Structure 1
Amino acid sequence: MNVAVVHEWLASYAGSEKVVEQILRQYPQADLYSLVDFLPDELRYFIQHRPVRTSFLQRLPLARQRFRSYLPLMPIAVEQFDLAEYDLVISSHHAVAKGVITRPDQLHISYVHTPMRYAWEFQLAYLRQSGLNRGLKSAATRLTLHYLRLWDIASANRADGLIANSQYVARRIWKTYRRPAEVIYPPVAIERFRADLPRDRFYLTVSRFVPYKRVDLTIEAFNQLGLPLVVIGDGPGWSAVKALAGSQVQLLGSQPDTVVEDLMQRCRAFIFPAEEDFGITPVEAQAAGAPVIVYQKGGQAETVIPGKTGLLFSTQTAESLVQSVKQIESGQVQFDAAQLRHQAELFSVERFQTQFRTYINRAWARFQAGDPLE
């Protein structure tokens, strides 16, 4: 088969890019499309240094620094990709990628990391956090998001089959598009970690400093507890996080993978207070033998066995998180490193490759037979 892989933008190596990396490994001859390509040289290994076919957004003013500002143009841009030569099109979607246009004799499968959060149920929170909850800019933004929602629903029917990265996202896909999606969890590189090292007394969190990640909640909880907390990460909320941190909170900023791996393998537990679509770091922590404390709403909760590999706290408040930490401190719950590791293995790269390849092969056979995929 001639295969095309379509991704929204290439500028970093995060969760969605790790999925693209494994898709490209399964289809090494596939052509790669992206609205923009600003990957630095040191990250091009994950796309195997292949050429990238980009859209007109690549050439617009300040695109390298502010390509996300061109969001209103992205639906038009993705529709301009000429994919006529391919038998199979795989889109990696969290904004507009599923909107590529294909013919009836082409199979299009979209791996959906999330429907556009900021256009749907998180719209009001996004407007508040961006200072756009009133005024002319707010009105213009709301109008743009209204347009994007209309296009998002219309383009949802362009894919023959949808894959969700968690049950949580599958429910959001059904709510937004009224289409079923098969769940294939993202690949997690668990082989990087050891689960048998002695544990230290400190707790750990790793996060970007943006509002929905709720780093503030974690710091508030540990200010109350007076327990040592190590925070790895950076982002626009750095100043606010630094101002909130008490003397027992150590802010390390961004760190290389080797430091993250070392701290995950030694921490008493890993804290994850965000409501995420999936959440790779809690799985990495379990692979490293660290129990995890996560918010019970979101895809990250699907990766934890309560009381066995971690704890779920019920409300997104410091008080609720404090109670979960106290359970660990009191010895109410005990965790086995072998069980933590076994749970993480359910989300391995090998498991992803097998499930994704099986899904594509099954979809291709049904498509060739003229049977609907859903």
Structure 2
Amino acid sequence: MPIRTLSKAIFHDYFAIAGGGERLVLTLSNHFRMPVITAFVNKKLYRDVGWIGAIRPILPSVPGKSPLTRALAAMITFSLMPGWCAQKIETVIYSGNYAPLARRRLECNFHVMYCHTIPRFLGDLQAEFLQSVPGYLLPSYRLMLRLYKSLYLLSVKKIDLLIANSRNVRRRIKSFTGRQSLVIYPPCDTSSFKFMGQDDYYLSTARLEPQKNVDRVVEAFKKMPDKRLVVVSGGSQYKKILELASEASNVHVLGWVSDRKLKELIGRCIATVYVPTNEDFGMSPVESMAAGKPVIGVSSGGLTETIIHGRTGYLLPENWTQEDMVRAVKYLNAAKAFELRRFCEERAECFDESIFLEKMAKVIKGEMPYVRDE
């Protein structure tokens, strides 16, 4: 793997899906011409990623379809990476849960970690994670988690500068690792989202996973037959959401849609609905506001850093009920949502890509102030 003579590089877990972390890494890579060292890449999904040589996979192909198999492959790949293969790199930016494990074997001048989230399956979501494991495999999984936690903490302690993607994640980093971090919000290409009018529907853009609570949103809209809800995205709860929606003529499930179609749906909705449980940051609300659309969110996690209650959206209480959702939809009617358009667009500019790149340029040049651990 010819990476020994690079002056700067990004180490990212892997490119199996087109997620927010992957978009952030490619934004950095394309702007600063920094190659991305990764465990493996879905070549069909990432045929065109910008400049030639942007992504350099260590493994020749994606190892299986199971998320656990892929996670194990990435963990082993970065843990065992021989130090000589990157000994000439001056600056390394680590992204993800497994790429930072390479830190223990790399001797470079400046190590930076951009933390999208701590591995929550080691912390507050560990019990939920282990509930999905067959009983006969539990001892092996517990052992694997202990080993990974040890490697992760050892690696993070050797990082020169830790960057959190939100104040919420900064608190988690401090609690989990004992280290301080600098907050730099992830980038949103605000210019690519436009206000396109106002049709008669509310839009849910969250992945269809348990922690995103889309099933609860659908149940709430079933109590409002005069209000339309459009659900985009996919995930493990797709069939469940389809079944729930089949009982309501006002709920329409579209599944995955193209980026172009998604931006059109956002641009023409009344407002978006995004109510995950303790989200790390949450880019969806920022994209909604960039299109001049307010957000029905929840008063927890990173959403409290992006949505301003009553000005760019409506924040439900953390333990919200269907009645809370009904009140929020009544409040954010078409007239009220249109009234908030300008405030939403102005708020989204605070998270524009240009601000992110300006701050990351200072990080790469070593001009950002260090945060000292207490």
The TM-score, its normalising length taken from structure 1, stands at 0.88
2:193 maps to what in 1?
193
Q: 1:321 to 1:140 in 2, by over 3 A?
A: farther
Contact persistence 2:297–2:314 (CA under 8 A)? yes
2:353 maps to what in 1?
349
1:359 maps to what in 2?
363
Contact persistence 1:7–1:33 (CA under 8 A)? yes
Q: Deviation at 1:36?
A: 1.2
Q: 1:35 to 1:223 in 2, by over 3 A?
A: same
1:223 maps to what in 2?
222
Q: For 1:219, what is the secondary structure of its paired residue?
A: helix
The TM-score, its normalising length taken from structure 2, stands at 0.88
What stretches of structure 1 move > 6 A for 4+ residues in a row? 330-334
CA distance in 1, matches of 2:371, 2:122: 29
Q: For 1:17, what is the secondary structure of its paired residue?
A: helix
Contact persistence 1:278–1:300 (CA under 8 A)? yes
What is the number of residues matched between the two proteins? 359
Q: 1:164 to 1:338 in 2, by over 3 A?
A: same
2:324 maps to what in 1?
320
Q: 1:51 to 1:361 in 2, by over 3 A?
A: closer
1:122 maps to what in 2?
125
**1:294 counterpart = 2:294:** no
CA distance in 1, matches of 2:321, 2:58: 43
- The within-5 A match list for 1:258-297 is 258-275=260-277, 276-297=279-300
- Unaligned ranges ≥5, structure 1: none
Q: 1:50 to 1:44 in 2, by over 3 A?
A: farther
2:176 maps to what in 1?
176
Contact persistence 1:72–1:148 (CA under 8 A)? no
Q: For 2:169, what is the secondary structure of its paired residue?
A: helix
Percent of residue pairs identical: 28
Q: Deviation at 1:334?
A: 7.2
1:21 maps to what in 2?
26
1:204 maps to what in 2?
203
**CA RMSD, 1 decimal:** 2.4
Q: For 1:350, what is the secondary structure of its paired residue?
A: helix
Contact persistence 1:160–1:373 (CA under 8 A)? no
Q: Deviation at 1:73?
A: 5.0
Q: 1:213 to 1:372 in 2, by over 3 A?
A: closer
Q: Deviation at 1:51?
A: 5.7
- Unaligned ranges ≥5, structure 2: 1-5
- The within-5 A match list for 1:2-151 is 2-28=7-33, 30-40=34-44, 43-50=46-53, 52-55=55-58, 58=60, 63-66=63-66, 68-72=68-72, 74-79=74-79, 80-81=81-82, 82-93=85-96, 95-101=97-103, 106-128=109-131, 130=132, 132=133, 135-151=135-151
- Once the two structures are overlaid, the 10-residue window that deviates more, 207-216 or 313-322, is 313-322
Q: For 1:37, what is the secondary structure of its paired residue?
A: coil
Q: For 1:149, what is the secondary structure of its paired residue?
A: helix
Q: 1:268 to 1:232 in 2, by over 3 A?
A: same
Pick from 333, 336, 340 the counterpart of residue 336 of structure 1: 340
Contact persistence 1:204–1:263 (CA under 8 A)? yes
Contact persistence 1:4–1:83 (CA under 8 A)? no
